[in-house]
Chain A
């Protein structure tokens, strides 16, 4: 019952994940951080098959880090998304594919724009203003469709995200546990309380 949500506003990307770690029907943990910071201006939220998620997230993290050490520059969100997509697309046709879905939120430093990419385990990549993974998609996308504007201030963005997570809490039969939220701006990544 995993849920990831994200949206872009005027000068930020807001990315939110639930904090459940479940094993079958049992909640093992309710403060699991299902996001990884991949760079100064890049955050990835992941869900999917339990072992695959962390394995793949760390694989991505280390490779992007290696790239930045070798070239003395970090990949921009678009390039990172493209590389990650290719890894998943190649993995899909391997003997044991990764079953991992991702939301990649970042800030494009040269362009000065907030970026959000929706990636699934098939290697589908979509550049979107707002997106959800997991069960949240069924409840929150319509809320985003109705209320999202690309020029939203941070306060408005947080308010909309709150609306969306409330909807998930209200209608999903399983309690999402808690939420962890991160904001990516030109100054970098910071955690916020939703």
Chain B
């Protein structure tokens, strides 16, 4: 078992029509033993930008703090909020800084571009190789299962509520097939007008 599967957890992000969604499970485990069902892995960066950090829990917390620090410094220097594309490159370079002793986290970025309201999603591997997607990105221990779900459920130009349903079903049915993910989930849907955050109940086994 690799260190990437030590604590378990999964994150998925999807593009919709003028909206974007990101969702993650809540499990924190030690290999096969579950410790907590309140461990959030998706964190807000700005009003319209989120980052999901599945992987080694210690690095999840360290990187959350690092990104909070760096985006705060960005805001102070530039006098504006960071854009999704810029943030994705910040994530990438932060991870590549530690090329030879990496953080064991594979981040997912989801947000709306503040200039034109276009949805943006991206994922990277643990050393910061970016993958920009037009449809959806998955990461974490249930990524293979969620790929299958997303592949069959997702379609272009989904409205916010339909996107919420699609991403929720993708995540829940994905993590239910994975012993290392699950134990509840949180979904964020970002639209130009508002941000919707909902907690999902799921199987607790």
Contacts and interface: CB of A to CB of B under 8 A. Distances in A.
Interface in A68-104: 85-86, 88-89, 92-93
A93 B97 CA distance: 14
A131 B59 CA distance: 21
A50 B24 CA distance: 38
A123 B36 contact: no
B199 interface: no
B56 A122 contact: yes
A124 B58 CA distance: 4
Interface residues of B, number: 17
B53 interface: no
A144 to B, nearest CB: 11
B58 A141 contact: no
Contact of B35 (A85, A118, A122): A118
A60 interface: no
Contact of A124 (B28, B38, B101): B28
B61 A123 contact: yes
Given A93-B101, A124-B28, A118 B36 contact: yes
A85 B57 CA distance: 11
B35 A128 contact: yes
A127 interface: yes
A22 interface: no
Contacts of B35: 118, 126, 128, 131
A89 B33 CA distance: 21
Interface of B: 6-7, 28, 30, 33, 35-36, 38-39, 56-59, 61-62, 65, 101
Contacts of B62: 86, 89, 123
A125 interface: yes
A89 B36 CA distance: 19
A123 B33 CA distance: 17
A54 B77 CA distance: 43
Interface string A99-135: 0000000000000000000101011111110010000
A124 B33 contact: no
Residue picked from A89, A120, A126, A138, most chain B C-beta under 10 Å = A126
Contact of A92 (B7, B30, B58): B58
Residue picked from B7, B39, B61, B101, most chain A C-beta under 10 Å = B61
Given A123-B62, A124-B7, A124-B28, A141 B33 contact: yes
Given A85-B61, A93-B101, A131-B35, A126 B28 contact: yes
A96 to B, nearest CB: 15
